[in-house]
Structure 1
């Protein structure tokens, strides 16, 4: 059950607001887009019970229109509902307060933000504005709504936790000496080794405290036992519990913020002090076509290479059309990403990190570079520019954060001692050695071939004027440089609304010309 809501004829006196709104105004596009979203999707936002809720279509319209006009505060949006005729028309002259707006945005929308966003993308596809074939991909870091200096580092947690464990071991050894002085003198080494092998947890410290309490019942005047119990209770146990909680929060990341646990500290280009200072933030990734955002994802890792596969998997999760061509910069040119694209039958126009340097004269003159060597497939050897051979010595495996296993083969030169290039090629080592992934070498060759074609070169050049300007429009033109909400689920909602608002602005611009 909803409060009666209509966008026509709200004001009989003195006039209908609708006559003041231009034909191709942004608020009309917002109205059209939201009206075509599935009713089942929006009805799921109403929990039922209590007084009738504001209609979710109306709430979504005013929020999208606000985001398109650089208004990200729920208080600002609530203020506009009584002052701005475009907001008044979209809201049917209803005035939800800022708490209602914020609750709808941060809580109700979190389960349907991707469906809402992709629904607008499908509408743009029906209008012929996107084909969902080429996928221009890039990422940027956006500052979290958290204190810039309340950070916790994983290495510090592990360092202090290790020191705590050592202190606990010393206390336990001291307790054992008090109770069993003679016996421990004989078996102290064995007892200490056993103690070090057992993981120390807050539960184990609690058990030790109980054991000390039992012993104190027999020796109530033992000052050393009392001191040990006090140290365990007041110092070690609270700290151990704190470190366990922090380890659970940080997970596989290297840091987190105390004021937004989901935010990770990252080095950002647009730092407020212009010196690349670390700030808590999120790594946002988008795919575009014609500067229209066709996919987005939020990541807690700072590096871009590991974000591509989770992003594309997210598209699969929501049954999105698979991109035919993926265009991205060299930050995503890894063996893992190339392999994924091959398996998914996506043509990857993604440079690797040295592709441009390989064409320079300086690079070609460096005799120690793998790219300047020739591979003898029959003998499984590499031949350098000075005709020296590097033979296979061993093979190693490396597993990525996403679970991909890459195999690298190491080759070593057998005749470096008499070579005039030994010092520069081997970099002051006795012999020259290289570590190479044969699979990645094959992939790099294929990438060079794809990018050398006219179509491939044209599409890759298009990337600079397709995906990169979108970040400029959002972060600079619309001044969205810091999230307003906290927590990963709420951040996804906020960035999804930003992307949807951006697409509606593009739609308005295209039909008005």
Structure 2
């Protein structure tokens, strides 16, 4: 937090001034042991409380020391309470980037209903649902605005509630990522989940883009890439990175043997030979999903997905005018979504039974 860092800097400046004043008065330090703060050291309220008490003991010995008295007053009345406040806020925040003062469990998100048309941020929750024939079979609430990291906890909650999982998981491109593909593979689930560039790859601009490595040829036996100009890129080294959740991704780095005189050098703005960083596992996952979606069965399932959760959300928000939660706090809001899901399923079943009775009468 920026304010906490500024406060830490202010406290260190104050401590330095106290020590400098003691040196100028040629007085013994007497073991005040004030904490020294560096870039890797974080000042906690406990440390600051202990330092203030030592200064207060020092002040009892020298009650006429006005600079020390002023410093102790500022620490006790202003800086220490502020630091405690920042720590409390950080505890509520957790790994999120924001929270609401009226509902600490809610996170500020950009809503689809933006009546002001200025991208307002509003406190809310990310609701995930799983549907089958437009019946809600599972739901989960999340405190993060993006869908990518919601898939795994949502699937695990559905599994805990139903005792098993469907053979195929269908989701849109917001859930497509190497981490989610790896998780679904570990659970032995067929992933019919689009990745972010799936629809873009079908455009002529993408297919004619010489910079996209998806349009290049990869030689698995020699572990080399060949660009559209026929230049070969050879393997150099491997690096590892981790996502926000700790998932490890292995990248392989390749460099062209020579880009000199290449008529298609515009594929990169970098100086020298072209370099690329590729996750071969992610490329494999994308190829598997691509083949499934292009199959007759995969295409039919992806089309069906368009009328499944979207229609349910439409019925709840538009037909039943439920656009905001009435309760606050993650546990209460989760119950509210549960009641809403139950009501939706009962109304859906009643409508089906009513239509069935009409058909029988005919």
TM-score > 0.5, shorter chain as reference: yes
1:365 aligned to 202, 208, 213, which one? 208
Partner of 2:294: 452
Is the contact made by 2:105 and 2:143 (CA closer than 8 Å) also made in structure 1? yes
Structure 2 residue matching 1:234: 3-state secondary structure: helix
Q: Is the 8 A contact 2:34 2:51 kept in 1?
A: no
Post-superposition offset of 1:192: 9.7
Residue 241 of structure 1 corresponds to: 84
228, 249, 253: which one aligns with 1:410: 253
8 Å contact 1:209–1:229 — kept in the other structure?
yes
Structure 2: segments with no counterpart, 5+ residues: 28-32, 356-362
Query: Quick one: distance in 2 between partners of 1:243 and 1:463?
Result: 44
Change in Cα spacing, 1:254 to 1:195, as seen in structure 2 (3 Å) is closer
The answer to whether residue 275 in structure 2 is matched with residue 433 in structure 1 is yes
Correspondence for 1:204 among 40, 43, 47: 47
What is the alpha-carbon distance in structure 2 between the residues aligned to residue 296 and residue 446 of structure 1? 28
Distance, in Å, in 2 between the alignment partners of 1:199 and 1:501 is 50
Task: State the Cα distance separating 1:379 from its structure 2 match.
Answer: 2.5
Match of 1:28 in 2: none
Q: Distance in 2 between matches of 1:382 and 1:232?
A: 62
Query: SS where residue 99 of structure 2 aligns?
Result: strand
Aligned to 1:345: 188
2:317 is the counterpart of 1:475: yes
- Larger relative contact order (CA 8 Å, sep ≥ 6): 1
Does 1:387 pair with 2:236?
A: no
For the aligned residue pairs, the C-alpha RMSD in angstroms reads: 2.0
Q: Does 1:486 align with 2:328?
A: yes
Report matched runs for 1:264-279 at 5 Å: 264-279=107-122
Moved more, 492-501 or 395-404: 395-404
- Separation in 1, partners of 2:110, 2:52: 44
Q: For 1:288 and 1:205, locate their aligned partners in 2 and report how far apart those are by CA, in whole Å.
A: 53
Cα distance in 1 for partners of 2:168, 2:117 equals 36
**Structure 1 pair 227/193, CA: closer, same or farther in 2 (3 Å)?**
closer
Distance 1:350 1:178, change over 3 A: same
Partner residue of 2:303? 461
CA distance in structure 2 between the partners assigned to 1:182 and 1:442 by the alignment = 72
Partner of residue 400, structure 1: 243
Aligned match of 1:258: 101
Aligned counterparts of 1:511 and 1:165: Cα–Cα separation in 2: 66
1:270, 1:276 within 8 Å by CA — same for their partners in 2?
no
Once residues 430 and 481 of structure 1 are traced to their aligned partners in structure 2, the CA distance between those partners, rounded to angstroms, is: 54
Task: Tell me how far 1:180 sits from its aligned partner.
Answer: 3.5
Task: Provide the secondary structure at the position in 1 that maps to 2:125.
Answer: strand
1:167, distance to aligned residue in structure 2 (A): 0.7
Task: Report 1:27-46 matches (<5 A).
Answer: none
CA contact (8 A) 1:284 1:296 kept: yes
For the Cα contact (< 8 Å) 1:283–1:299, is it kept in 2? yes
Work out whether residues 173 and 192 of structure 1, in 8 Å CA contact, stay in contact via their aligned partners in 2.
Answer: no
SS at match of 2:230: coil
CA distance in 1, matches of 2:49, 2:106: 32
Report how far residue 468 of structure 1 moved: 0.7
The secondary structure found in structure 2 opposite 1:311 is helix
Residues 438 and 182 of structure 1: is their aligned pair in 2 closer, same or farther, counting only changes over 3 Å? Answer: farther
- What whole-Å deviation, never above 9, does each CA across 1:216-246 have from its counterpart, x for those lacking one? 1221111100110011011101110111011
- 2:350 corresponds in structure 1 to 508
CA distance in 2, matches of 1:322, 1:299: 20
1:289 equivalenced with 2:132 (yes/no):
yes
TM-score normalised per structure 1: 0.65
Quote the residue 1:224 is aligned against.
67
Ranges in structure 1 where 5+ consecutive residues have no aligned partner: 1-157, 185-190
> Which digits, 9 at most, give the CA deviation of each residue in 1:391-425, with x for residues without a partner?
22332222223332111112222312311221x30
CA-CA distance at 1:430 after TM superposition: 3.3
Does structure 2 retain, via aligned residues, the 8 Å contact 1:485–1:491? yes
Q: Pick closer, same or farther for the CA change 1:295–1:457 going to 2, 3 Å.
A: same
- Is contact 1:306–1:401 with CA below 8 Å preserved after alignment? no
Distance 1:223 1:193 in 2: 22
Q: Any conservation in 2 of the 1:164–1:240 contact (CA below 8 Å)?
A: yes
